[in-house]
Structure formats: structure tokens, C-alpha cells
Structure 1
């Protein structure tokens, strides 16, 4: 795989494809890709990024929640590579929250997601991990998992009124008049 991947954007057909499983975790290009995804997400103020966003149709993404200008209230966690992830179970309840996407610049959507997901994935060292994710980190996981299925957050918005420009979102956020989440 070549270095210096760019984030592809809405309209690129790779974003609408179902990704293929990662077959060989020992391949050095997979470890390089993980490092590139982490670096790219941090540089772009993202809280996650999936391999398809870098034009690589493989079932791999990073969850890297931390406060930043795009998500000032995000919890802090270490960037985590999740390879061949699965959702094992989820809560019956959903909550709407604001999402953006590095591949859909300039827009935010008020997207319903499960409040809790039990997930399984292989970490970058080849170990199977099983954990329960809640709230914002569960939202990140579901958003990135959708990328592996060829789904974008704009596909999950329930109403056109639930879409804002990034500028309007930031203005409302600065004025504290924006609901963060709702049932």
C-alpha cells in the first residue's frame, strides 16, 4: 500500500462498498495503515476513521475519542485499531446525537444510534477483544462500522431538518443552543 493516503469524499464509490475482511494481520502494510489512520484522524480532528475513507476497502477502523474543535465534549481514550469488528449485541434504546464525517465535509447530522453496543474485534496485535461501549464511544464505533458496510451518516438521518452545515453547527455550539443528544 502506498503512503500518504488522502481522505476520500462523498461521491467516491469506495465509500458505498462493503469492505472485505482483513486476512493477514501480519502483513506490514496493515500495521502501516493502522498508523496512518491514527495520524490522519488526529490531524483532521476526527474521533475515528475507517480504512474505506482512505480508499482501502478493508474491515479496519480506528476509534480515537478525545476533545477537539470538532467534538469539544468527547471523552479521552487511546486510539484503538479495530480489525474485522462485529456488533454482538446492542441496547434496545437509541439516542440522537450530532455526527460529522471526514468524508462528508461541511455537514452535520442528528443521527439515532444505540446507546450501548457489545462488540468484538481483533486488535492490532492479533488478540480478540470483546467489550461493551457506551454513549459517545458507542456512537463512534457504529459510525465507523457503517463505513465498512458502505453506509454514511447522512443515510441514517431521519429528517432533512436533522442536517446542518458545519458552520451553523459550530455557531449553535458556541451559543450553547444546540441539543447535544435526545431520545
Structure 2
């Protein structure tokens, strides 16, 4: 088990567009993915993007635990998405209460598309695609933003509920 250091907001790697992964099936990428899963689990996160651990590469790991499923959503087992492309399926948005392993202790409401189509590769380099809604769509968009050098505070529209976890927020 290798738990890697998670970079925090302000580190330059978190604010640049990540590079494409050329050989997803390489041993180097395989080890990185294993270490990212270990790190995500250790930090109790729903997702972790490679830039968050100092690797400016277009890949992230994530899962949707049963505890985060609402409105008939199904859990999603831990998986990796390499060189992802996300496409909103319509203009419908939802407000998501988000936090980030790179911004510990803070939460805010962030507008996200309710349904997205995703396309990318798995850890063996095989193409994978599907449709995600609700929390699954939220996680994909949050992690994808990391690959674009965007952190969730850049998406906040109403700062009145941007707060530390241990503080009460209005509403």
C-alpha cells in the first residue's frame, strides 16, 4: 500500500491542464493507479485525480458509495478513467455540496450538469463509456475539472454557503 501526499490548493500542478496518458497499460501507470486507489481510500474520498498527487496526467480514480446514492442511484465500484471526455446530455443542472481532498475542511454548493456521458479508457487501455447521473455525474465532473486545472471554488456561484465543515451554514 502506497499512500501518496495530496497537494493542496495553491500548488501550481493543480492549476494547469494535465497531459494525456500515452500508454495506459504501462507498468508505471498501473502502479500509479494502484497508489491512487490506496490514497483515495486512506483519505476517505470519492475521487482522486492524478494532478492532486503531483502527476499532471489525464486520469482519475473514483467510486460512488451506497451512502452517497439518492433517488434510486446505484453504487459504483472503484474504477479509473483515463483520458476522459465528458459531455453533458442536456442543460439540466443540479446543486452539489462539494468538498475536495486538496481543499480540506471546506464545502460549498456547486452547480453541475445532472447527466453526463463519459468516454475514456480503463487501466488496461480498453475504451469505456457510459452515462452518469446524480452523485456519479458530480464526481466525474469534479475530477475532470482537476484535469483542466480547475478547483471547485472557481465554479461557486453563491459564496454564502462556502464554509468550513464544522461551521453551520445558512439554508
TM-score, length-normalised on structure 2?
A: 0.91
Distance 1:89 1:158, change over 3 A: closer
Query: What is the aligned partner in structure 2 of residue 46 from structure 1?
Result: 45
Question: What is residue 143 of structure 1 aligned with on the other side?
Answer: 142
Does the 8 Å CA contact 2:3/2:39 hold for their aligned counterparts? no
State the shift of 1:89 in Å: 3.6
Q: CA RMSD in A?
A: 1.7
- Alignment match, 1:16: 15
Could you give the per-residue CA deviations for residues 106-154 of structure 1, whole angstroms, max 9, x where no partner exists? Answer: 1101000000001101011111111000000000000000000000011
In structure 2, stretches of 5+ residues that fail to align are none
CA distance in 2, matches of 1:26, 1:83: 10
Partner of 1:124: 123
Partners in 1 of 2:99 and 2:3 — Cα distance? 23
Q: Which has the higher strand share?
A: 2
Q: Which residue does 1:84 correspond to in 2?
A: 83
Q: Which residue matches 1:73?
A: 68
TM-score in terms of structure 1 length: 0.85
In structure 1, what is the Cα distance between the partners aligned to 2:91 and 2:103? 28
Measure how far apart 1:43 and its partner are.
1.1
The number of equivalent residue pairs is 166
Give SS of 1:39's match. helix
2:114 and 2:77 map into 1 onto residues whose CA distance is 21
Change (3 A) 1:5 1:73: closer
Q: Using the alignment, how far apart are the partners of 1:62 and 1:91 within structure 2?
A: 25
Instruction: Quote how far apart the aligned CAs of 1:4 are.
Output: 4.7
CA distance in 2, matches of 1:117, 1:101: 20
The whole-number CA distance in structure 1 between the counterparts of 2:161 and 2:146 is 20
- How much does 1:91 deviate? 2.2
**Match for residue 6 of structure 1?**
5
Residue of structure 2 equivalent to 1:175:
none
Cα distance in 1 for residues equivalent to 2:8 and 2:89: 29
